[in-house]
């Protein structure tokens, strides 16, 4: 049985980092990137914890193990991770200043639990936990990560903008609350 909740302990945050490490683009083969997707950013424990203290991350747990997560990243962390600064600059340029959004900083599901609806349920839980305080969820996806793009479009994300940074093309997508 899989439970969906918010991260509340240092151990859960460390499990998020371990799952992240196993799925970094630099750690997976080209075939796996194409078929299964990948994550781009390696967070530090301190940054992950500070983000969680502001808006708790959503996790999926089987038994006591974190088997999936969506990271909640409040815009006040726009300068915290170098590779994400261009995304925040682009968002500022396309959204009105009054738009109150949360960034989904990364989503990842353990290989053994993929294709079981965990992705969709993580986002449903994130939406339930954040819709009172935010008008939308925004994230960016490496244009080469077709698996992630397809999954996001399938649950209702719409493309807002495409840009190039660091010799890569990025898609900024948004899920608007009704």
Convert the pLDDT of each residue in 9-54 to its tens digit: 999 999 999 999 999 988 988 888 878 888 889 999 999 999 999 9
pTM here is 0.92
DSSP bridge pairs for 6: 58
CB atoms within 10 A of CB 111: 14
Convert the pLDDT of each residue in 96-143 to its tens digit: 887 899 999 999 999 999 999 999 999 999 999 999 999 999 999 989
- Catalogue all structural domains in the chain, each as residue range(s) with its CATH number: 2-176 (3.40.630.30)
Please choose, from the candidates 37, 12, 42, the residue with its C-alpha nearest in 3D space to the C-alpha of residue 119. Answer: 37
CB atoms within 10 A of CB 134: 20
Inter-residue contact 34 to 147 (CB < 8 Å): yes
């Amino acid at each position: 049985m899989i439970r969906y909740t918010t991260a509340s302990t240092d151990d859960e945050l460390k499990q998020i980092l371990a799952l992240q490490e196993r799925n970094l683009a630099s750690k997976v083969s080209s075939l796996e990137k194409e078929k299964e997707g990948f994550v781009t950013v390696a967070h530090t424990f301190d940054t992950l914890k500070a983000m969680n203290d502001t808006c708790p991350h959503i996790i999926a747990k089987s038994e006591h193990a974190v088997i999936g997560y969506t990271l909640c990243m409040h815009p006040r962390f726009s300068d915290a991770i170098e590779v994400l600064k261009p995304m925040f600059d682009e968002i500022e340029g396309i959204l009105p200043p009054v738009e109150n959004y949360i960034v989904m900083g990364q989503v990842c599901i353990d290989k053994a639990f993929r294709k079981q609806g965990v992705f969709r349920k993580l986002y449903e839980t994130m939406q339930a936990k954040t819709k009172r305080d935010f008008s939308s969820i925004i994230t960016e996806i490496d244009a080469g990560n077709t698996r992630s793009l397809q999954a996001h479009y399938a649950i209702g994300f719409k493309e807002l903008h495409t840009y190039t940074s660091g010799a890569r093309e990025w898609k900024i997508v948004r899920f608007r609350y009704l």
